[in-house]
Amino acid sequence: MNGQFSRLALAILFSLTLSFGASAETVAQAVRNWGLIGSWSRDCSHKPGRDQNTLLIYEIMADERVVHRRDFGDSTDENEVVGAEVSADSMLNLRVFFPKFKQTRDYGLMKQPDGSVRTMYNHDQKDAYSIRDGIFTANGNPTPALQKCRAGARSALEKTSANAAGLR
């Protein structure tokens, strides 16, 4: 009887391993399925600006890497999304490496009823939070809702990237 139980337990464990492995999404699949790909801003009709209207761009490259670009108006940067998964509450949990700062940050995005998204948390690898529960830790203000910008409205950063890739 004990031998049968061991074989049954192994069979169940093997079956669960196969089913979990089969359902695991890549970073590109997770962000695509969640609807993140594209440009996001507080107000897509205004030019990007450092303090009030940063343009955030998420793009899947030809090699399936996911890139997170930030357009501050006077400067831009490009960072790789190295992890992405959707939690049970539908929050998109991202891990992004920022080479300029030699830092990896984890943050969570939550869709709002109107289709916008809000950042609900953001912390470094030492769990120092800049955003917790949708509130900036520095000033107590709520994070802004970001709207998805229509495809035709591209920043200078996106146009430069498209031209370099030959996409125009």
Is residue 84 one of the residues assigned to a domain?
Answer: yes
DSSP secondary structure of 49-92: BTTTB-EEEEEE-TTS-EEEEEE-SS-EEEEEEEEEEE-TTS-E
Here the CATH number for the domain that contains residue 69 is: 2.40.128
SS3 at position 114: coil
- Look up the domain containing 98 and give its range: 27-164
Is residue 116 one of the residues assigned to a domain?
Answer: yes
Q: Is 50 left (phi over 0), alpha (psi -120 to 50) or beta?
A: alpha
Is residue 10 one of the residues assigned to a domain?
Answer: no
Burial classification of residue 124, based on how many CB atoms lie within 10 Å of its CB (0-12 exposed, 13-18 middle, 19 or more buried): middle
Is residue 48 one of the residues assigned to a domain?
Answer: yes
- Beta-bridge partners for 85: 93
Is residue 114 one of the residues assigned to a domain?
Answer: yes
pLDDT computed for residue 134 by the predictor: 98
pLDDT computed for residue 111 by the predictor: 98
- Looking at residue 127, its amino acid is D
Tokens of 71: 């357009």
pLDDT tens, N- to C-terminus, the chain (168 residues): 555 544 444 444 344 333 334 457 999 999 999 999 999 999 999 999 887 799 999 999 999 999 999 999 999 999 999 999 999 999 999 999 999 999 999 999 999 999 999 999 999 999 999 999 999 999 999 999 999 998 755 445 545 444 444 443
Is residue 89 one of the residues assigned to a domain?
Answer: yes
Is residue 41 one of the residues assigned to a domain?
Answer: yes
How far is Cα 115 from Cα 126, in angstroms, rounded to an integer? 32
Is residue 8 one of the residues assigned to a domain?
Answer: no
What Cα–Cα distance (Å) separates residue 29 from each residue in 38, 67, 132, 147, 162?
Answer: 14, 13, 26, 21, 22
pLDDT computed for residue 64 by the predictor: 96
Domain count, the chain: 1
